[in-house]
Structure 1
Amino acid sequence: MELGLDGKVVFITGAAKGMGAAISRAFAREGSALVVTGRDVAALEILADSLRASCPKVRVLTCSCNITDPADVHGAVRKAESGFGRIDVLVNVAGGTGPVGKTAWETSAAEFEEIVSLNLTGCFNTMRAVLPGMIERRYGKIVNVGGTFGMRGRAGRMSYSASKWGLRGLTKSTAIEAGRHNINVNIVAPGMVDGDRFRNKVVPEAMARLGCTEEEAIAHHAADYALRRISLDEDVANACLFLASDVSRQISGVDLPVDGGWAAV
């Protein structure tokens, strides 16, 4: 299936590492022009070099961007539009986990506000910055990376869950408002993704709790999913490609879980 992403200008937040880097690589392979943004400029340059090495024709612009600062976001968007003339696709990957293992009454106001500012307000800032240009051109795709804890509550993750539930509301309402301008706005909701946090925190904690091997801990975690396997960064990246393409032209305002069936069971 031809996705038609060749030449599209894609603005990606939180692009430097992990899921963001995997998503950047996926768009580069499709021939998209990339604006990779984040706070770690050195890591962004390393990513850009690796993209150019693997996809010699790719056009990549690196841009420092703190999504919690509206002025910084607008500056990054202006730089992207100056460099490439437009932004066709926004992929909001940047985010954080917030306090883990704390109840609502144990969570401080500062902890709550910090993660909501990053996971929810940060996406509002980037969407608000790119939408005028998309509306003017009558074309745009926005893909917000949420999470399945924004679809099901989770004890000990109240702040994170609240931020991702809020992101769903932001996405769905904006999808209704922007639809008449030929703009699609959707959410990709990953479950647990195999990566540094899973391997270095989740799995060791399960090994200690269950008294089992690493392989057994992974299998125990995977048993919660209908497909009995943990998602990969590439699974999330492929979902982002789909929702950023015109193949999904009639899909807007939806949550697409990429979680092996956890949210469905």
Structure 2
Amino acid sequence: MKEHILEVIKQIEIDYDVKILYACEAGSRSWGFPSKDSDYDVRFIYIHKKNWYLSIDRKRDVIEVPKHDSISIPIDDLLDVSGWELTKALKLFRKSNPPLLEWLMSNIVYYEATSMTNKMRTFAKDIFAPHSCLYHYLNMAKGNYRDYLQGEDVKIKKYFYVLRPILAAKWIEKYKNIPPIQFQSLLEDLLPSGERRNEINTLLKRKMAGEELDLEPRIELINQYINKEIEHLEVYAKSLNIYIPDPTEQLDQLFRETLDEVWGKSNIKAN
């Protein structure tokens, strides 16, 4: 599949007239709990040629690749491919956008063309906003819990889409830094050994073995933990008030350096 993903990346560059700087896995495969038929959630950051940025009109800063009739080669049905233009990515990085931070920290990197992403990873710890990320994960956990795990019978696989953001938020509370990508790393650090962790590990093994984790009776031991942690994190989140210096000047410089690295120092042309 990686060869096909690289082929798709190269074709996107041709069809959209851009340079892709970085591409990674951003879904359940990078989190460590894929099913046998899980999609490949490929996310990328790209840059236009210099003239694209010298315009009075605001232009689309996202590329979303449908599975059919979008680029010049067929895309596998298991591929979900989309990307953000670099200035959009840097604006979100300035706000410690958790999905973008997860892209940068992904343990499955398909393509990395420049020094830009390493510079962002180095810079990330200096501009990390714990309150912003914690609220993101807390709201994700609350929304998924409300939508999927309230009935007598629940979509059992959705436990992972509630537990992972809860554990990510708890990591931020404990360490005040960017949470690890992999669910297992969070689980082992933040949940003591015992019946509850054993129950979660059993679910994890079932999911990764390809069992159809659909409607089953809810697991009260896990629901009780979720309720308790959501209540605790809501109180804790209100206490966070951390000053983060404005990094705009440094990010402007990173953008300019990347433009020059990709296209050279004199690539601006008259139309």
**Which structure has the higher relative contact order (CA within 8 Å, separation 6+)?**
2
TM-score in same-fold range (> 0.5): no
TM-score (norm 2): 0.28
TM-score (norm 1): 0.28
Q: Tell me which structure has the larger Cα radius of gyration.
A: 2
